[in-house]
Structure 1
Amino acid sequence: MVRANGERSIRPAVSDGLLGNTQIWLSSEDFQRRMAPYANPGAGAVRRVRPPRDSGWRIGNKRLHARRAPNGETLRALAAKREHEAPAFNDHKSCGALMRSAPFGFLRLENPLRQTVEAARLTHGRSTGYLAAAEYAQIVHEIVYAARTPPEAIDVAIAHVQAERGHGEVSRALRRAVRLAKSETEPKAALTETLGTARSGDLALSIGVYCALVATSFKHGARLSVDHSGDNDSTGAITGALLGLQVDRFRLPQTWLRHLELRRVIEAVANDMLIGYGGSDAWFKRDPGG
């Protein structure tokens, strides 16, 4: 996304660049083998894509090529992908698109919700799947660039998503989370599970947002967000991101950070996205563009 956003080009840049780099990621021998069960009959293998010679420092980091548990529907959609702009033809509304959408909130986009929708529809055909992703990115964007509090950012994001067709499930789920957070009921795992299983994008977002709103510390919010029987790795990531944005209120425990895989890489990518593309020779060497 940093590379695709590198030259501040016109609207299709981010989704085109994201798909192009995803195809490079999927073209390794290991992924060709793993993707075989998800390919459409007669479609053949995923097209092999070789990285350009000047691809930037991330492509060469083999640990970033590891498979991080994408679900079958996401892999199936990518296996069938042949055109950059074509949305996925499925009824997929899992939280897979949601889980990769937070970085869109860090890009200096005029319309982060619309750009996130375009990228999410590469794998998710149902509005609940791609609008949950877009709403999450909008919340992040409002906190980072408009300096809004999480409740304010959520209100703005709900207003944005209500202009989109098929927003019902996402809007209702987020409103339930806000109402529950405003109640005087003590936060606990059993209460979190009343918001759902987090298997779909709307439910994962509602649990993640609720836990971020009621958290008294980073540890409290993070533990509450994973202490349920649903898709807790996803809700934990959502809550952790929203708490991490509030650096004036919450600090990540140093004991946790010491065990964080790829910490230096994550920090470098986050800094690149937040600072933005500088346009100098040094920047171009790091991120040549799409």
Structure 2
Amino acid sequence: MDLVEYRSRVRGCLLGGAVGDALGAPVEFTGLAAIRERFGAAGVREFTGGVHGAITDDTQMTLWTVEGLIRAGVRRDRGLGFNPVGPVHHAYFRWYDTQVLAGPPARGGGWLQDERWLYARRAPGNTCMGALGRDAPHFGAAAANDSKGCGGVMRSAPFGLLPYWRNSGPAEPDRLAFQWAADAAGLTHGHPTGKLASGALAVLIARLVAGAGLEAALDAAMTELAAHEHHEETTRALRHARAAAADRPATAETVEELGGGWIAEEALAIAVFAALKHPEPGPDAFLNALALAVSHSGDSDSTGAICGNILGALHGEPAVPPELAFEVEGRATILVLADDFVYEFTSPQRLHDESRLDGRWRRRYPGG
């Protein structure tokens, strides 16, 4: 795979996730009957709500995951090894600041922390807020709760965007992607299923970015998943999603048979089902999948975000529906961060040339 295609898949994954998030957000907590009365049988296919195209905490935390991974890369380039969970945990504390402060703190925390549009509370999950707030465990510790809410899996796609395809064999990258995503989810969600569903999504994304088809990528994710204790809930949910995609109609009723999406394995299963029902390349199929993923009575923004992540990684940026992509909140920031991620993990030697850049990249991503 060349770098042009890789960049397109990274941008597609992050932009597609934001679009799915913003599409589903206004109908979260809305019953199916009310959704159909307002939007018709085709479901939600355009942005609505008081803030047109507004993203939620799902996209916010996904962006902070990307930022933490970039900082982990900067640490690696300084010879400090690569273990991204610590830098990502720091990034989640910076996200928490955006939920409780009026604006950027007066300190050099990197460019993303200075993006004022991120300082908005968009229904952040109580579990995440509690795990990162004043009573949070010490840095690096797993969350002291038993939650398997979808707040871990909905932000885990970036772990699959790391360019594992540049390595020779897939087995080790699958294991690493899974473990890092699971550990990072465990910073806020302590239940094994909350962590394992996050790891499964990371492997799925990693295989898609490397060029695998959706079915083959799912096979790889489920193979890695099965190697972990307590995998049964997530494995069962994904099996149900695949069986439903093969045998059941693409309707909201089928989606709701998979659950409401409030918990990790159900959110992943609904997103996978919608992607399997509309796997074709192009904006029309992408929009059909997103409409299916969000037009139900459950956690519509999270299921839409995960579905958008999956299809964006599969098809790349051109497949994201342009009528939604052009006005999703924060598009410029999302795409700049996506490009910075690609730069850090494909051309680090050019970014850390102190004789030319005078440390500007490190000031952009400090703490590495």
1:126 aligns with 2:181: no
Q: Which residue of 2 aligns with 1:253?
A: 321
Q: Which residue of 1 aligns with 2:200?
A: 135
1:186 aligns with 2:241: no
Partners of 2:137 and 2:144 within 8 A in 1: no
Partners of 2:148 and 2:264 within 8 A in 1: yes
Cα distance in 1 for partners of 2:338, 2:316 equals 18
Indicate the SS of the match to 2:236: helix
Tell me which of the two structures has the higher relative contact order, counting C-alpha pairs closer than 8 angstroms and 6 or more residues apart: 2
Percent of aligned pairs sharing the same letter: 33
Q: TM-score, with normalisation over the residues of structure 2? A: 0.68
Unaligned runs of 5+ in 2: 1-67, 165-172
Cα distance in 2 for partners of 1:24, 1:249 equals 28
Q: Which residue of 2 aligns with 1:10?
A: 81
Indicate the SS of the match to 1:276: helix
1:22 aligns with 2:77: no
Instruction: Write the deviation string for residues 235-279 of structure 1: whole angstroms up to 9, x where unpaired.
Output: 111111111123279722221122211101101111222343424
1:164 aligns with 2:228: yes
Partners of 1:24 and 1:51 within 8 A in 2: no
Cα distance in 1 for partners of 2:339, 2:317 equals 20
Cα distance in 1 for partners of 2:233, 2:107 equals 41
Partners of 1:222 and 1:239 within 8 A in 2: yes
Aligned residues: 270
* 1:51 Cα deviation from its structure 2 partner: 7.3
Pairs within 5 Å for 1:85-164: 85-108=140-163, 110=173, 111-145=176-210, 147-164=211-228
Instruction: Write the deviation string for residues 113-136 of structure 1: whole angstroms up to 9, x where unpaired.
Output: 111111111111101111111111
Q: TM-score, with normalisation over the residues of structure 1? A: 0.85
1:268 alignment partner AA: V
Q: Which residue of 1 aligns with 2:59?
A: none
Partners of 2:143 and 2:187 within 8 A in 1: yes
Cα distance in 2 for partners of 1:194, 1:26 equals 34
Q: Which residue of 2 aligns with 1:206?
A: 269
**Alpha-carbon distance change, 210 to 237 in structure 1, aligned in 2, over 3 angstroms:** same
Indicate the SS of the match to 2:319: coil
User: Runs of 4 or more off by more than 6 Å in structure 1?
Assistant: none
The equivalent position to 1:66 in structure 2, one of 99, 117, 120, is: 120
Partners of 2:153 and 2:197 within 8 A in 1: yes
Instruction: Write the deviation string for residues 61-82 of structure 1: whole angstroms up to 9, x where unpaired.
Output: 1222323322112211222224
Cα distance in 1 for partners of 2:338, 2:182 equals 21
Unaligned runs of 5+ in 1: 34-48
